[in-house]
Chain A
Amino acid sequence: MGLLILRRLLATIPVLLLVTAGVFALIHLTPGDPIDAMMAESVDDSVKRELRRDLGLDRPLYLQYATWMGRLLQGDLGRSIRNSEPVIQNVGRRIKPSLQLAGLAMAISLLVATPIGILSAARRNSTLDRVGTSFALFGICMPNFLLALLLIFLFGVTLRLLPISGYVDPLEEPWEGLRSLALPAITLGLALAAVITRTLRSSMLEALSEDYIRTARAKGLGDGAVIRRHALKNALIPVVTLLGLQLGTLIGGAVITEYVFALPGVGRLVVDAVFARDYPLVQGVVLLIAVGFILSNLAVDLLYGWIDPRIRHR
């Protein structure tokens, strides 16, 4: 296991280097001068010159990259042009709602997908299965923002049951906090639940057709015990892989969901930074998201090795 961790960590280094190069190049892909793109024409030339010097844009490219990397290694991701605050502080303030949203969405998706996936597979081709697979198709084809607006229309506008925007910290006011996160988490959770349902159904079907299941049944075990004790454990392996693969979609979905529900999270920060043309902030946040994404994928890989011993010994 230790060797697996070391190997995976080493493999991450070149990718991380390329990611930093990509994020660094981002600002230089801007057609024309990035400073002109960031600032209004009316801004004084001396201000623009100063910013150009601050960002090091007047120096050769390789020097700019070396300086930028040097700062990165010291934990300095740059400063936002809008509020002059370090990127880290900007993100630090916004990370809590995003993590709460992602956690809640993940919980909802597993609560919804696990019974539907298992029942769909156990009662293959029944009405229940058809409902389950239709739900999965609906969730996969439904864009996040449309589902969000449908939920707002239904629960916020028509039934007036839940708030449609704003954020209350559930750690401070549990009931109001959960209510404020309910619609965003359901939006994000249902999309993820659809994908999990589909994978769990097919991996359960595969597990249920294995010889050891026939043996278990021949021993006289009931349906429930066969599924719980034998099929489900093996069927969960592809689901864990899928959760890793879906992290990117989850983060992308969070960007849209936070935007629709006006949640002050990291996703909303990216969108705001993009439209304010605050490139240093875009660079910093995108880099942090990418590193977070790589590390979570690494964690999922290791978890996979822990669940499935065959991987560990490869």
Chain B
Amino acid sequence: MATILVAPASSRSVRDRRWRTLRRAARARLAPFGATVMLLAISVALLAPVVAPYDPLKQNLDNTLARPDRTHLLGTDNVGRDVLSRVIWGTRVSLVAGFGSVVIAVLAGGLLGLLAGYAGGRIDGLAMRMMDAVLSFPPLVLALALGAVLGAGLTGVVIALGVVYTPTFARLMRGQVLAITAREYVDAARALGAPGWRIAWTHVLPNATAPIVVQASLSVAFAILAEASLSFLGLGIQPPGASWGSMINAGRGYLQQAPWIVFGPGAALFVTVVGLNFVGDAIRDALDPRLRA
């Protein structure tokens, strides 16, 4: 009933618009590099069992700290494990942590922001003060404390980072809801008797998605960095499992004899984060050119 007030968009014009957005994203100078890195990382993560040349956990005490050569492209670590294979398996952990924690934050924050913005009054006040309280902790310290009580392991880290990023999305969604519910078409829908949940679902949510997508795409890179930091400190995947952060931490004692143990996963982490940043920037420029720095 309410939707007739909005000019019906033909499927063709929607397709055209999406195409234009995609083309705008691809035109960003560094976007192709970012997209390539992201696709490569996702493929490597999915195909880890196929593309890893060795078992990432298999030790070979006869060949420890071996320099990179043709048999071990990134050398071996202090117990003779192939560094490249461990970097490849570590990609999986990084991407799961990066995307997983942002998905949690988008769902929790989005829902909370929607509720706060829509309900207003005390619920809004309480929800936003709660988010302020979460934001009162330095992100890494909060993640560390939560990770400590949730226990070491990937699940604990993903939940901890999800909590840390929730307020960003809650505030963003609330702001969007307040802006959108003040529009005439929402008044019109309300006047026509559309129930609150339908207004939220058909009018508010679709219009609030763009900034959320932009923020989410930029947050993934930082979540990957945060997971690596927590793994470096010893939370996250436990030995002998492979994650970039824990590999770098394990290798720092051998910096003089075998710097490749640190710099292999370090390069993978740096390139992935740079690539994801470019993708995030391109998505931002395409969806919301006003936010361009």
Q: Is A274 an interface residue (CB 8 A)?
A: yes
Binds A, one of B63-71, B84-92, B138-146: B138-146
B262, closest chain A residue (CB): A149
A149-B252, A153-B259, A282-B145 known; A141-B273 Cβ under 8 A: yes
- Interface presence of A241 (CB below 8 A): no
* Given A143-B225, A143-B229, also A29-B150 (CB < 8 A): yes
Which residue in chain B gives the minimum CB-CB distance to A34? B149
Rounded to whole angstroms, the CA-CA distance of A149 and B150 in the bound complex is: 29
Q: Is the interface of A mostly helix, strand, loop or mixed?
A: helix
Asked if A146 and B132 sit within 8 Å, CB to CB, the answer is no
**CB–CB A15/B129 < 8 A:** yes
User: Which listed residue, A141, A157, A279, touches B255 by the CB 8 Å rule?
Assistant: A157
Contacts of A141 in B (CB 8 A): 221, 225, 270, 273-274, 277
Within 8 Å of chain B (Cβ to Cβ): is A19?
A: yes
Residues from chain A with a CB closer than 8 A to the CB of B144 are: 255, 270-271, 274
Give the residues from 236 to 252 in chain B that come closer than 8 angstroms, CB to CB, to chain A: 245, 248-249, 252
Q: A111 in the interface, Cβ–Cβ < 8 Å?
A: no
B118 at the binding interface (Cβ < 8 Å)? no
Partner of A249, one of B138, B252, B262: B138
A19–B133 CB distance below 8 A: yes
Question: A143 with B145: in contact, given A137-B274, A289-B137, A294-B136 (CB under 8 Å)?
Answer: no
CB pair B129–A19 under 8 Å, yes or no, is no
Is B133 in contact with A252, judged by CB distance below 8 angstroms?
no
Closest B residue to A148 by beta carbon equals: B252
CB neighbors of B among A14-46 (8 A):
14-16, 18-19, 21-22, 26-27, 29-31
Bound: A243/B9 CA distance, A = 45
Considering the chains assembled together, what is the distance between the CA atoms of A197 and B139 in angstroms?
22
Q: How far is the CB of B123 from chain A (nearest CB, A)?
A: 15
Question: Given the known A-B contacts A19-B137, A137-B274, A260-B252, are A149 and B146 also in contact in the complex, defined by CB atoms under 8 Å?
Answer: no
A31–B274 CB distance below 8 A = no
Q: When A15-B136, A145-B229 are in contact, do A202 and B293 touch as well, CB less than 8 Å?
A: yes
For this complex, into which size category does the number of interface residues on chain A fall?
35 or more
Bin the interface of chain B by size.
35 or more
> C-beta contact mask, A209-227 vs B, less than 8 Å → 1, else 0?
0000000000000000000
Contact string, A285-300, partner B, CB cutoff 8 A, digits 1/0? 0100110011000000
Contacts of A152 in B (CB 8 A): 252, 255
Instruction: State whether the Cβ of B148 lies closer than 8 Å to any Cβ in chain A.
Output: yes
Interface presence of B115 (CB below 8 A): no
Given A22-B133, A256-B232, residue A30 in contact with residue B149 (CB < 8 A): yes
Instruction: Give Cα A290 to B232, complex, Å.
Output: 23
A198 at the interface (CB under 8 A from B): yes
Residues of A within 8 A of B192 (CB): none
Known pairs A29-B150, A248-B138, A279-B149; list 6 more (Cβ under 8 Å).
A18-B129, A30-B149, A141-B221, A252-B138, A252-B139, A290-B138
Can you list 20 A-B pairs, Cβ within 8 angstroms, ordered by A? Answer: A15-B129, A18-B129, A18-B132, A19-B133, A31-B150, A137-B277, A141-B225, A143-B273, A145-B228, A145-B229, A145-B248, A149-B252, A149-B266, A251-B138, A252-B138, A255-B233, A256-B140, A271-B233, A274-B148, A279-B149
